[in-house]
Chain A
Amino acid sequence: MPFKDLREFLARLEKEGELQKFDEEVDWNLEAGAISRRALETDLPAPFFEKIKDYPKDRRMVSCVLANLKRIAIAMDMAPDTPMRELIEEYLRRQKKPVKPVTVKTGPCKENVLIGDEVDLLKFPVPVIHEGDGGRYIGTWHLTVTRDLNTGWTNWGMYRHMLHDAKSFGVLAPAPKHLGTMADQKYAPQNLPMPVAVVLGSEPITTFCAATPVPYGVSEADIAGGLRGEPVELVKCETSDLLVPAHSEIVIEGEITPGDERDEGPFGEYTGYRSGLASPKPVIRVKAVTFRNDPIFTFSCPGVPLDDSASVFSVNKSAQFLDELRSKGLPVTGAYLIVEGASHAIAVSVKNAYYGIAGEVAHVIWSARHGLLTPSVIVVEDDVDPCNLQQVFHAMMTKCHPGRGINKIEHATAWPLIPWLSEHERKHRMGARVYYDCTWPVDWDRAELPVRQSFAECYPKEIQEKALRKWRSHGH
């Protein structure tokens, strides 16, 4: 059974040892961020903050909600120890069977309704997540709803939102992200304000789907229904026709007016750095806020070596790339957006490698949606599990020739957040890409290929069993 709301999911996480409650006072200003970062770096449970400095008892916070594989598997209603490769394949199967949402009259997110002058976003414990951030970030784990002006298609995306003051915040969602594309192509040319709703604390799959790379024109709500195996229940906003998940903790309604910009950033990003992109960005002016009683404010704490975006993308983006590669008929056996690589690197395993296959794989990745965020492609043979970083790294170091194996593409479109770009390259979106061919050359004598020396590969079955028995008899 899918989870009805965030609260049900958090209760389950607690039961699984994946949630830690903090009943002592915690400061929204850096301390909650530091506790979260520590959790991410040492694989601790998701922190749930019950008492927040400067705020009354009924304001609570949670972070790192889907920050590891186990939590994602639980959210997908699968066994907590499901291996990565299975999770990716299952995600793909369900994504291909979308289920349309249903509209309901009302829901828990309407327990409190504040409109116009009553709105004060500072009544929520909006955190300063890292020292040096440009401000308090109200949107780092949420879904942002917008609707196409002509077709009525509704998009969900997760885009950072920095709070400016009690009634406004910014957004970073440049094209090809759908919010930016809609605003640029549809609303701005007609000089119309674009209604926006920012939803915090909906059930885990809906939030997960806000960060899933589906094509323009496809509603993430349908994908969420497919993943849940049950439609998402939506309810109408107070000040616009946008629909939002009815069981959400907090819904912020507002609009973006073309040309209305304010300084936003910097912010410690998914790349693991606080770098650049402090600049004027569109502003969302708030018209209403609705929320559950005792609302739970959700956030994520990006950084190195990983965070929620890395874990989420290692599942949904891997699946998308795998699907894309298969649809081109390439003999691909697995694809994995390496969780430690901050979305920058993908490992792909192939069988029956032929001359040039690595290049074909790389170019399919780069032509896929958001492929420009992943400039490094590592192609291995299928004796390597692409989800096993140790194996992938070993193949890179031992099979990839530094001359003919490393293939650089010098002139490519850049995603401006990539940290190795110079300021000039960032500005003009001038990037580069590389693929690592870790397959044995096709013109080497097959009979003389180096033979990998592993327990499974270089001992006869009966010797392996004997060895295992002996280890077991010593208690291992």
Chain B
Amino acid sequence: MPQEYETFARDSAHLFGGKEVVMTLRDLTPGRRKYRGINVRGVVSRPPRPGEAVLWIRSVVGNRDPAPCSVRIVEELPETFQGLPYSDFFEAMQRA
């Protein structure tokens, strides 16, 4: 079975256009480890390119865009994104 992921985005337009983007992917491989999150730098394509992992995009309220995409992972990133100081919590919360 091909590798399959999903990601959540406010404005999915920024994911397209062939450029590298940083995102969290949720691994949809069935079984006990499903939905594990990984941070990556990758290139998203719609329509999906053959041979690449399938990617589904969900909105900030979780609705799944029915059009499939694919993702080519350029590199896996550390578990922590460049963090904001805790005092910026609200800004971070609202920034999504």
Contacts and interface: CB of A to CB of B under 8 A. Distances in A.
A and B interact: yes
Interface of A: 29, 54-55, 122-123, 128, 130-136, 163-166, 168, 174-175, 180, 183-184, 187-189, 257-263, 265-266, 273-283, 416, 426-427, 429
A31 to B, nearest CB: 13
B80 to A, nearest CB: 5
B41 interface: no
Given A130-B62, A133-B62, A281-B89, 12 more contacts: A164-B36, A165-B38, A165-B79, A259-B84, A261-B84, A261-B92, A265-B96, A266-B61, A278-B10, A278-B61, A280-B81, A281-B92
Given A174-B89, A279-B93, A282-B86, A266 B60 contact: yes
Contacts of B95: 279-280
Contact of B93 (A55, A168, A280): A280
A158 to B, nearest CB: 18
B24 interface: yes
A265 B9 CA distance: 11
Interface of A is mostly: mixed
Contact of A164 (B37, B64, B92, B93): B37
A261 B91 CA distance: 12
Interface of B: 8, 10, 24, 26, 31-39, 58, 60-64, 79-81, 83-87, 89-90, 92-96
5 contacts: A136-B35, A164-B37, A259-B84, A262-B80, A278-B61
Contacts of B92: 261, 279-281
Contacts of A128: 35
Contacts of A416: 93-94
Contact of A276 (B39, B61, B83): B61
B61 A274 contact: yes
A258 B8 CA distance: 24
Contacts of B10: 278
Contacts of A278: 8, 10, 60-62, 96
B86 A187 contact: yes
A405 B1 CA distance: 63
A184 B34 contact: no
A183 B94 contact: no
A166 B38 CA distance: 11
Contacts of A122: 32-33, 36
Nearest to A268: B62
A258 B86 contact: yes
B21 to A, nearest CB: 13
A257 B68 CA distance: 36
Contact of A259 (B33, B39, B86): B86
Contacts of A274: 61-62
List 6 A-B pairs, minimum CB-CB distance, nearest first: A132-B62, A259-B83, A279-B96, A188-B86, A258-B86, A278-B60
B7 to A, nearest CB: 9
A233 B90 CA distance: 36
B31 A261 contact: no
A174 B87 CA distance: 11
A262 B93 contact: no
